[in-house]
Amino acid sequence: MPGSGIPSIRAADERAIDRTGALSEDAVMRSASRAPLLAGLAAVVPLAIPACGGTPTPADGASISQKAALLDIDPALVFTTRVDGYDLASQSVGPANDDGLSATWVDEQTAAMITLRTSPGEPDAESCAATPMWDLPDAAVTCTEEAGLWHREGGGAHEFLVARDGATIWVIGPNGTPLDDLRRAAEAVHVPSDAELEALFADAPTEPPAPVERGDLPENGDGAPIQPSGPGG
């Protein structure tokens, strides 16, 4: 572990070993005084590993399905991202593209935004160029593949498409969001962890939407809804 001091401590103690293989009295005293410090370092290292990078452990499928049902979203289309300086606007989370998910992250210092939208099916070169830009549907689209991402440009705007397990994740940057921020968001797309799942659906209703029941339809046939006339006919 760089900077921990553990290698230098061990080296110092090894130099204190005499030719008979025994530690000098001073070395024994130093080792005893350092024991609590080394124990503390050993306890901290496992906790520090997740913070050094990498994708968090995804939430289990049952948890994702339960949360997705609250907004009538296909659980296979539940993804998230993370970019330094941007915070999730939980009120922005909702359905998109029929059964996909939409969510927006905001940089409160600059008002820049990153919006993530998901849809079924993975993009290819042809569909990437043929699909209109999300915010500029009439702009001509240029699409290039960059390190596993599809970078789209049109009308001065930029988007990224990410393919994941049969899904397309759109990463969109309105309000002049820096291109590097968009790229980092696209690279960081992943299935949410338990904590991220809770954050995504923090403002969702607590119960899934109930089907609408119509009581004015005839019991048989395909007739129109029954609308009784008033006193005037």
Q: Are 140 and 157 in contact (CB under 8 A)?
A: no
Q: How far apart are the first and last CA of the chain?
A: 86
pLDDT in tens, 173-214: 987 899 999 999 999 999 999 999 999 999 998 876 666 666
> Residues, the chain, total?
233
β 87-96/157-164 pair status: unpaired
What's the rounded mean pLDDT across residues 126-135? Answer: 92
Residue 94, C-beta contacts closer than 8 angstroms, at least 6 positions apart: 71, 101, 102
Q: Are 81 and 189 in contact (CB under 8 A)?
A: yes
* Helix ranges restricted to H, 24-107: 25-48, 61-69
> Which domains are assigned to the chain?
6-52 (no CATH), 61-200 (3.40.1000)
pLDDT in tens, 27-82: 334 334 333 322 332 322 222 223 335 678 999 999 999 999 999 999 999 999 99
- Full-model pTM: 0.68
- Place 21 in a pLDDT band, splitting at 50, 70 and 90: very low
Q: What is the three-class DSSP state of 28?
A: helix
Task: Look up residue 61 and give its two tokens.
Answer: 């499928």
* Helix ranges restricted to H, 147-187: 179-187
Q: Round the average pLDDT of the chain to a whole number and report it.
A: 77
Beta-carbon neighbour count of residue 4 at 10 Å? 13
Element (H, E) at 93: strand 87-96
- What does each C-alpha distance from 203 to 103, 199, 206, 208 come to in angstroms? 12, 8, 9, 13
Task: Look up residue 192 and give its two tokens.
Answer: 């949410």
pLDDT of residue 54: 67
Question: Cα separation of 140 and 105, whole Å?
Answer: 27
Nearest to 148, CA basis, from 178, 117, 188: 188
Structure-token match 């296909």, residue found:
74
Task: Look up residue 208 and give its two tokens.
Answer: 């899934």
